[in-house]
Amino acid sequence: MIRRYTYGTPLPTDAVVKQLNTEPGAPDCLTVSKSTDGTVLSFPLPEEAMLFGLGEQLHGINKRGHLYRSWNSDDPQHTESKSSLYASHNLLLYAGPKRSFGLFVDDPGEVVWDLGYTRMDTAVITVAGGGFDLYVITPEENEGLPLTAMCREFRGLIGRSYVPPRWAMGYLQSRWGYASEEDLVTVARGHRDKHIPLDGICMDIDYMERFKDFTWNREAFPDLPGLCECLKTQHIRVIPIIDAGVKAEEGYDVFDEGEEKGFFCKREDGKDFVTAVWPGESRLPDFFRPDVRAWFGEKYHRLLDAGAEGFWNDMNEPALFYTPEGLRRAYETADALRGALTEYDSSFKLSGAFNALANSPEDYRSFYHTVGDRTVRHDRVHNLYGALMTKAAAEGFAAYRAEKRYLLFSRSSYIGAHRCGGIWMGDNCSWWSHILLHLKMLPSLNMAGFLYCGADLGGFTANTTEDLLERWLQLGVFTPLMRNHSAQHTREQEIYRFSIWEMMRGTLSVRYALIPYLYSELMLSALTDGLYFRPLAFDFPEDRTACHVEDQLMLGTQCMIAPVYEQNAVGRHVYLPCDMLMVRFRTAEDYDMEPIAQGHHWIELKLNEFLLFIRRGCFIPLARPAEYTEAVTTERLRLLGWLNPGEKSTLRFYEDDGVTTQVSLRENEREITIDVGGAVQCDGSVCDTAGLVR
Ligand code: GLC
Tens digit of each residue's pLDDT (9 = 90 or more) over 308-327? 999 999 999 999 999 999 99
| CA–CA distances in Å: residue 614 to residues 35, 385, 432, 561, 576 | 50, 41, 26, 9, 10
Distance 621 CA to ligand 1 centre (A): 36
Q: Name the residue at shortest CA distance from atom 10 of ligand 1.
A: 176
Q: Which atom of ligand 1 is closest in space to residue 176's alpha carbon?
A: 10
Residue 298: exposure state from Cβ atoms within 10 A (0-12, 13-18, ≥19): middle
Please, are residues 641 and 671 in contact by the beta-carbon 8 Å criterion?
Answer: no
Distance 354 CA to ligand 1 centre (A): 21
Residue 550 CA to residue 414 CA, distance in Å, equals 25
pLDDT digits (tens, 9 = 90+) for 221-249: 999 999 999 999 999 999 999 999 999 99
Residue 119 CA to residue 443 CA, distance in Å, equals 26
pLDDT given at position 370: 97
In 3-state terms the chain splits into helix, strand, coil percentages (rounded to 5) of 30, 30, 45
Residue 567 CA to residue 436 CA, distance in Å, equals 12
Q: Is the C-beta atom of 204 inside 6 A of ligand 1?
A: yes
Distance 312 CA to ligand 1 centre (A): 10
Residue 341, pLDDT > 80, answer: no
Residues forming beta bridges with residue 111, ordered by sequence position: 70, 127
Q: Which atom of ligand 1 is closest in space to residue 411's alpha carbon?
A: 8
Residue 140, pLDDT > 90, answer: no
The confidence band for 342, taking pLDDT boundaries of 50, 70 and 90, is: confident
Q: Which atom of ligand 1 is closest in space to residue 487's alpha carbon?
A: 10
Residue 507, pLDDT > 90, answer: yes
Residue 406 CA to residue 300 CA, distance in Å, equals 11
Q: Name the residue at shortest CA distance from atom 7 of ligand 1.
A: 427
Among 612, 489, 519, residue whose Cα is nearest residue 558: 612
Lowest mean pLDDT among 340-354, 525-539, 679-693: 340-354
Distance 385 CA to ligand 1 centre (A): 17
pLDDT digits (tens, 9 = 90+) for 4-35: 999 999 999 999 999 999 999 999 999 999 99
β-bridge pairing 580-585 and 553-555: unpaired
Q: Which atom of ligand 1 is closest in space to residue 174's alpha carbon?
A: 10
Distance 176 CA to ligand 1 centre (A): 7
- With the most atoms of ligand 1 within 8 angstroms of its CB, the residue from 202, 241, 424 to mutate is 241
| CA–CA distances in Å: residue 588 to residues 469, 592, 596, 626 | 19, 10, 21, 10
Distance 669 CA to ligand 1 centre (A): 38
**Burial track 501-522 (b if 16+ CB lie within 10 A, e otherwise):** bebbbbbbbbbbbbbbbbbbbb
Distance 427 CA to ligand 1 centre (A): 7
Q: Is the C-beta atom of 411 inside 6 A of ligand 1?
A: yes
DSSP H helices, 568-658, are none
| CA–CA distances in Å: residue 294 to residues 13, 263, 564 | 18, 11, 45
Question: Residue 665: phi, psi to the nearest 5?
Answer: -65, -45
Residue 77 CA to residue 355 CA, distance in Å, equals 14
pLDDT digits (tens, 9 = 90+) for 151-186: 999 999 999 999 999 999 999 999 999 999 999 999
Q: Is the C-beta atom of 205 inside 6 A of ligand 1?
A: yes
Mean pLDDT, residues 456-481: 98
The type of residue at 554 is: M
Residue 369 CA to residue 374 CA, distance in Å, equals 8
Please, are residues 379 and 109 in contact by the beta-carbon 8 Å criterion?
Answer: yes
Q: Which atom of ligand 1 is closest in space to residue 427's alpha carbon?
A: 8
| CA–CA distances in Å: residue 148 to residues 298, 444, 586 | 38, 12, 32
Residue 516 CA to residue 512 CA, distance in Å, equals 8
pLDDT given at position 417: 98
Domain-wise residue ranges, the chain? 2-158, 526-693
Distance 314 CA to ligand 1 centre (A): 7
Other beta carbons within 10 Å of 229: 13
Domain 526-693 fold is Immunoglobulin-like (2.60.40)
Q: Tell me: cis bond preceding 318? Omega within 30 of 0 counts.
A: yes
Domain 2-158 fold is Immunoglobulin-like (2.60.40)
Q: Name the residue at shortest CA distance from atom 3 of ligand 1.
A: 427
The type of residue at 614 is: I
Q: Name the residue at shortest CA distance from atom 4 of ligand 1.
A: 176
Distance 630 CA to ligand 1 centre (A): 29
Q: What is the pTM of this model?
A: 0.98
DSSP string for residues in 466-533: HHHHHHHHHHHTTSSSEEE---TTSPP--GGGSTTHHHHHHHHHHHHHHHHHHHHHHHHHHHTT--SE
Mean of per-residue pLDDT scores for the chain = 97
Helix (H/G/I), strand (E/B), else coil: 186:
helix
The confidence band for 130, taking pLDDT boundaries of 50, 70 and 90, is: confident
Q: Is the C-beta atom of 176 inside 6 A of ligand 1?
A: yes
Question: What does the longest C-alpha to C-alpha distance in the chain come to?
Answer: 90
Distance 243 CA to ligand 1 centre (A): 9
Chain centre to alpha carbon of residue 239:
17
Among 369, 352, 368, residue whose Cα is nearest residue 360: 352
pLDDT digits (tens, 9 = 90+) for 625-672: 999 999 999 999 999 999 999 999 999 999 999 999 999 999 999 999
Distance 660 CA to ligand 1 centre (A): 30
Q: Output the CA angle 353-356-359, nearest 5 degrees.
A: 155
Residue 83 CA to residue 90 CA, distance in Å, equals 14
Distance 487 CA to ligand 1 centre (A): 7
Q: Is the C-beta atom of 426 inside 6 A of ligand 1?
A: yes
Q: Which atom of ligand 1 is closest in space to residue 312's alpha carbon?
A: 9
Q: Which atom of ligand 1 is closest in space to residue 76's alpha carbon?
A: 7
Question: Residue 690: phi, psi to the nearest 5?
Answer: -65, -15
Residue 633 CA to residue 665 CA, distance in Å, equals 19
Q: Is the C-beta atom of 427 inside 6 A of ligand 1?
A: yes
Please, are residues 453 and 483 in contact by the beta-carbon 8 Å criterion?
Answer: no
